[in-house]
Amino acid sequence: MRWVSGRRAAMAVLGTALAGALVTGCGGKDVSSTDAKHDAPERFANSAQLPEYLAADGTTVVVGSAKADTVVRLYEDLRCPVCRDFEEEGGAGALRKMTLDGEVRTEYTLASFLDDRLGGKGSKKAANALRAALDQGKFVEYHDVLFHEQPEESVDGYTDAFLLRMASRVKGLRGDEFDTAVKDMKYGSFVTASEKAYEQDKVSGTPGFAVNGTLLGDDMRGGMFDPKYLPVVVAMASAKQ
């Protein structure tokens, strides 16, 4: 759940590797090269413009250009305070910029194990509400609001009333269809399947990170929390494959 133990040590080791990576550019290409791809990934002006959809597996929420060569997967539980740290103070902003620029595509797997550990239904309710927001093309915007206003981990704060109140902050999200989906847990099967997918991928806790299908180890995971290092961590992980 928390990446506290070993994180400082991992960052110290990572810093040395990243210093070299920054110099070498991690295999980055000269975008002015004449052999640049003609079908380059799209770029988007803001988060509201990002394409978002449910993948064929029924659990992965895909955000960004389908043409992006690199895929970063986030495993998040909405009640997890370290996930909020990543989203609000860590590398999420840098990852979003890379997604907007078409450098990566971001994929989300929503876990809900904290309900079992702490009691309550907040993680499940929040994941269900996010799935309902996806139907309205508002997943990204609502996701950001929910993490920004995340209740205390020990408080089962993602109630129907709270989720609907937060949804009112996202223009165009509220409506009979969305409100009913939230209240009736319309996407309960999605929530269950998403937690199962999280477990099957053998992620040790949230937030978890994978680049092009490979989970990041402790030696690189800490760098995802640093806006300066995250792009290089992603490039290094991608280059290893």
- Domain membership of residue 116 (yes or no) is yes
Most confident of the ranges 15-19, 41-45, 59-63: 59-63
- Domain membership of residue 37 (yes or no) is no
Residue 12's SS3 state is helix
pLDDT at position 238 over 60: yes
- Domain membership of residue 35 (yes or no) is no
Mean pLDDT of the region 136-144: 98
pLDDT at position 77 over 60: yes
Q: Pick the closest to residue 48 from 175, 136, 150 (CA basis).
A: 136
User: What is the longest distance spanned by two Cα atoms in the chain?
Assistant: 57
Query: If pLDDT is split at 50, 70 and 90, which confidence band does 41 have?
Result: confident
Of the two residues 190 and 35, the one the predictor is more confident about is 190
User: CA 88, CA 241: separation in Å to the nearest integer?
Assistant: 29
pLDDT attached to residue 14 = 53
- Domain membership of residue 197 (yes or no) is yes
Query: If pLDDT is split at 50, 70 and 90, which confidence band does 15 have?
Result: low
Amino acid at 227: P
- Domain membership of residue 32 (yes or no) is no
Give percent of the chain above pLDDT 90.
Answer: 81
Q: Pick the closest to residue 163 from 152, 150, 154, 172 (CA basis).
A: 150
pTM: 0.85
pLDDT at position 12 over 80: no
β-bridge mates for residue 74, sequence order: 108, 209
Contact 99, 144 (CB under 8 A): no
Instruction: Give the distance, in angstroms, between the CA of residue 141 and the centroid of all CA atoms in the same chain.
Output: 12
Whose tokens are 């099957």? That residue is: 200
> Would you say how long the chain is, in residues?
241
pLDDT attached to residue 218 = 87
Instruction: Give the distance, in angstroms, between the CA of residue 177 and the centroid of all CA atoms in the same chain.
Output: 25
Q: Pick the closest to residue 92 from 28, 29, 160, 148 (CA basis).
A: 148
Q: What's the domain count of the chain? A: 1
- Domain membership of residue 65 (yes or no) is yes
- Domain membership of residue 29 (yes or no) is no
pLDDT at position 49 over 60: yes
Give percent of the chain above pLDDT 70.
Answer: 84
User: CA 89, CA 139: separation in Å to the nearest integer?
Assistant: 20
Mean pLDDT of the region 163-181: 98
pLDDT at position 48 over 90: yes
- CA pseudo-torsion sign 72, 77, 82, 87: positive
Contact 173, 190 (CB under 8 A): no
User: CA 86, CA 225: separation in Å to the nearest integer?
Assistant: 6
The CB density around residue 179, as the number of other CB atoms within 10 Å, is 16
pLDDT at position 33 over 60: no
What does DSSP assign to residue 200?
Answer: H
User: CA 25, CA 88: separation in Å to the nearest integer?
Assistant: 27
* Structural domain boundaries enclosing 72: 7-23+45-239
- Domain membership of residue 70 (yes or no) is yes
Query: If pLDDT is split at 50, 70 and 90, which confidence band does 53 have?
Result: very high
Whose tokens are 């770029």? That residue is: 43
Mean pLDDT of the region 137-150: 98
User: What CATH number has the domain bearing residue 91?
Assistant: 3.40.30.10
